[in-house]
Amino acid sequence: MRIDELLKEYKFVWAIDHANSLLGWDLEVNMPVEAASARGEALAYLALIRREYLLRLKDLVSKYEDAKDLTDFERGVIRVLKRELKYYTSIPPEVIEELNRTTTKAAVVWREARRESNFDKFKPYLSKIVELERIIADKLGYEGHPYNALLDLYEEGFTVNDADSVFNTLLPNLKSILEKILSEGKYPSRHPLEEVPYDVNVMKSINEELLKILDMPVGTRFRMDVSAHPFTTSMSINDVRITTRYEGKDFRATMFSVIHESGHAIYELMIDPSLEMTPAGRGVSMGVHESQSRFWENIIGRSREFVHLIYPLLRERLPFLKDYSEEDVYRYFNIVRPSLIRVDADEVTYNFHIALRYEIEKGLIAGKLDVSDLPSLWNDFMDKYLGVRPRNDAEGVLQDIHWSQGSFGYFPTYTLGNVIAGMIYAKLPGLRDKVAGRRFNEIKEFLRDRICKYGAIYPPKELLMRSFNDTYNPTYLLNYLREKYLS
């Protein structure tokens, strides 16, 4: 292979990433509380070592980037590394270090501010983060809107024009769909099962059965644990791990976190083995990754066919379900209501929460909005989009951790995930029958052949065009929602 020398040197970077992933997983799952300081120090030094090893690849990337007759895989490797190198070489180390210092403090202050519902406490840190994110956008360079530079970090090639097009189509149509659902009253806005407590050990056994139903390779290439916030991490193509949490009531929450994270895991597990330990052996973007988790959680997990499949298991192990029919459980899984908190939002209202954050981030990075105005601006957007208004900052502008971490440009990928999941629903033949027949391996084969096996070889838009002859088209999602909730 033409780039063997480059791939050999890259393995140092891969090994550091492997260690980082394992340390990050352990931090959330096993690590004793007082180990946090040393773990943070270790991760910080590993980040410096990774940067050093990645920069060593610069000359090799330059050597091969203009070579003729490269394979698609080789071009993908060069593209991925060029993007990483651009980040490290464009942004001065002192800016990255200042952002790391600021976000480390900001994450602590954000938790305090949210607990106290006091935005003023968090405001100076957020102002500094926004200032640094603007510098990063300028250093990275962009065409058109400065926010494009940050969007591209999470979804390669995605721009403000793309996002505006998606939201301009989605929002008015979602508004119409939501109004019809609420007026018809077929899907509840509240359900008694939301308040019913459950036995945690019983729910653990149900979640383990769910993994069997989804045919996850538990114990061989995959495992599930418990953490404060559900997540997925991949050490390698043969070592992918998820977590869930148990809150003691509203049993669908832990179930759907398992199905959601399993969707992320399925993506990583189905990357072609030949891409292992290469820059292309990863998910291509946050939006495409989110499409897999949303597809499994919402389109499969909340479907009538899936409820029919798992209802006997639920009824057998949850005694309180003796008073609830299969139809009751389906309605409970598909509650629709305008709500204040993004992570609690249903699939009809969720994208309004993302549109709000997108508009605020876009305005902040362009210098058109001031951080001081965010609480009132947030509340006005919520009123405009969903007709609900936060009573305090904790219910409003302080609810997400993302800004304290400097993750500007991340939020829109959640909506992209929903949009792409809708497209998969439209393009996957006989999906309902496959779910009803518990033929999940056939669904996985479709996803593997269209998305997963390619890793990061192709940019997101090219991958979607190759596989579906379309990109970020919200029409499929709207059609799915109309079919499900209004037909």
Active-site option among 74, 155, 261, 347: 261
Q: What is the DSSP letter of 155?
A: S
How distant is the alpha carbon of residue 359 from its chain centre?
Answer: 19
Q: Which residues of 73-86 are buried (b: 16+ CB within 10 A; e: fewer)?
A: bbbbbbbbbeebbe
- How far is the C-alpha of 340 from the C-alpha of 256, rounded, in Å? 20
Length of the chain counted residue by residue: 487
Give the Å distances, CA to CA, from 339 to 69, 173, 190, 415.
54, 18, 11, 17
Q: How many angstroms separate the Cα of 280 from the Cα of each of 154, 289, 376, 400, 447?
A: 15, 14, 43, 30, 17
**Side chain identity at residue 258, one-letter code:** V
User: Which amino acid is present at 415?
Assistant: T
* Cross-strand pairs, 249: 197
For residue 236, give the 3-state DSSP assignment.
strand
* Binding site per annotation, positions for Zn(2+): 260, 264, 290
Q: Is 261 one of the annotated active-site residues of the chain?
A: yes
Bridge partners (DSSP) of residue 136 are none
Active site residues: 261
